[in-house]
Amino acid sequence: MKSRIVWLLLCCIWGSTWLFIKIGLRDLPPISFAAIRFLIAVLILAAIIAVRRLSLPRSARDWWMLAGTGVLAFALNYGLIFWGEQYISSGLAALLQATIPAFGLVIAHFYLPAERMTPLKLVGVILGIAGVGIIFSNQLTFAGPKALAGSVALVISSICVAYSNVLVKAYAKNVEPTVIAGGQMFFGLIPLAIIGFATEGNPGNFHWTGMAIISLFYLAIVGSVIAFILYYWLVRRIDVTKSMLIALVTPVTAVILGMLVLHEEMNWRTLVGGALIMSGIALLVIHRKKREAALIPES
């Protein structure tokens, strides 16, 4: 029962973060907004690491892994997300980020021997790419070049985080999950902070409205720290396939919240593209479930 509640809570949290990014972008510049979010999250995670006395990496290889994946998963990924969501709806941004598992499968084929590409996986990836293509054509035809650029930024961000996830799975088996998250955020926020200060100015001069502050702390505390702790609590108690289903529910939650709160609209091309993306990811999840069932020995 507790696992189901946490699963639903994670779907709600990660589905709502896109809404709060969009709200915060009304007043805050994107790169600095992302940097300050992760600065707050890193401070909290550092306190958790200290209180729990978790071991830090001892090898240079692990530190380089944290630095590299931190730049991919936080500097590039979130920098592109926050920048791109200035020009597209929160629901569309969530749909485009749902392509992460598809890109991850392609990248994993070259790094993880146990996760080679299969014909069924390839069909799922093709469905996802087809959905992205339809969305791109819609943005270029109806929404304009800025919306297209924002959509491209979200897809590139998905590739970055998918690559990071594969590298972590391949090379970070002996590092504590909390340390991985804290280390990645630390290394990722450094380029975000430098670029943000250089291009967007002093954070003290930003338009700090009440909603901007609420969005910032919601994303830092609820969307980063709490969601991360809940997720790793959950993955130790349910099978991998069920945890992957969160990726199917999150975009739907984001689209509904965007329509209800921000009055965002979805035309038929975006809906068709989104449906293809979600169908591709669903196919990958079903394939995983069947493979896990086949590995269970008969009694």
pLDDT at 132: 77
Name the helix (H) or strand (E) containing 105. helix 100-111
Amino acid, single-letter form, for residue 207: H
Distance CA 115, CA 111 (A): 8
pTM of the model: 0.85
Q: How far apart are the first and last CA of the chain?
A: 27
Distance CA 25, CA 216 (A): 10
62, 229, 48, 101 alpha-carbon torsion, rounded to 10°:
20
Distance CA 122, CA 287 (A): 11
pLDDT at 192: 97
**Tokens read off for 250:** 């999150």
Distance CA 282, CA 288 (A): 10
Does position 113 have pLDDT exceeding 60, yes or no? yes
Q: If you ran DSSP here, which 8-state letter would residue 1 be given?
A: -
Does position 17 have pLDDT exceeding 90, yes or no? yes
252-288 confidence digits (pLDDT tens): 888 888 888 988 877 777 778 778 877 877 776 665 5
Counts of helices then strands in the chain (DSSP H, E): 14, 0
Sorting pLDDT into bands at 50, 70 and 90, what band is 294? Answer: very low
Does position 249 have pLDDT exceeding 70, yes or no? yes
| pLDDT mean over 176-191 | 91
Distance CA 45, CA 298 (A): 43
| Nearest-5° Cα angle at 213, 201 to 52 | 100
